[in-house]
Amino acid sequence: MSNVAITVNGTLHTKEVEDRTLLVQFLRDHLGLTGTHVGCDTTQCGACTVIVDGKAVKSCTILAASIEGASVSTVEGLADGEKLHDVQAAFHEHHGLQCGFCTPGMIMASVNMIERHDGVLDEATVRHELEGNLCRCTGYHNIIKAVLSAAEKHRTAHAVAAE
């Protein structure tokens, strides 16, 4: 057993966990944050994608103890009260989900992608960067539209702020 201290969505959590506890288990079982989904347990589907210290990662293959002291963002930490994050709002507006199983991982990967590219994205880049996140329902068309819409909003907001 190890004591692990990880900041999740801005709150420091210190828990005693088995050394083999995966980050996805830490989030779901120890913190009750069930928005991060367990899909394949082999990093193939991306349903468990979260952001660790600014990088999108698949939490099903990372030991919680290995990220001691890290900062983790999950889908639960995106909204500001009732106000959805721009990516969440774009997924809703553009119907970028059907069953919703892949949605948290897609959203987290998209948030990270938009941040890394400062909102400057094209369809080819979005498709390439989401290759590691599987959706079995939508065929990606509406997901791509949602990401591009959120990226445009991000780019516009940052341009206005720079003026």
- Checking if the pLDDT of 139 tops 70, the result is no
CATH fold label, 2-77: Ubiquitin-like (UB roll) (3.10.20)
Considering the chain, what is the average pLDDT of its residues?
94
* Cβ–Cβ under 8 Å, residues 23 and 65: no
- Checking if the pLDDT of 130 tops 80, the result is yes
Return the pLDDT at 43: 85
Return the pLDDT at 80: 95
pTM exceeds cut of 0.85: yes
Rounded-to-integer distance, Cα 70 and Cα 65, Å: 10
Structure tokens at 96: 């970028």
Instruction: Kindly report the CATH number that applies to the domain delimited by 86-162.
Output: 1.10.150.120
DSSP letter for 30, please: I
User: pLDDT, tens digit, for every residue of 15-29?
Assistant: 999 999 999 999 999
Nearest to 35 by CA among 79, 76, 82: 76
User: 11: Cβ–Cβ under 8 A, 6 or more apart, which residues?
Assistant: none
Q: What is the mean pLDDT of residues 77-85?
A: 96
Return the pLDDT at 143: 96
pLDDT tier, 91 (very low <50, low <70, confident <90, very high otherwise): very high
CATH 1.10.150.120-classified regions of the chain? 86-162
Return the pLDDT at 88: 97
User: 68: Cβ–Cβ under 8 A, 6 or more apart, which residues?
Assistant: 4, 5, 6
CATH 3.10.20.30-classified regions of the chain? 2-77
User: pLDDT, tens digit, for every residue of 29-53?
Assistant: 999 999 999 988 788 999 999 999 9
User: 131: Cβ–Cβ under 8 A, 6 or more apart, which residues?
Assistant: none
Percent of the chain with pLDDT over 70: 99
Q: What is the mean pLDDT of residues 119-137?
A: 94
Return the pLDDT at 33: 98
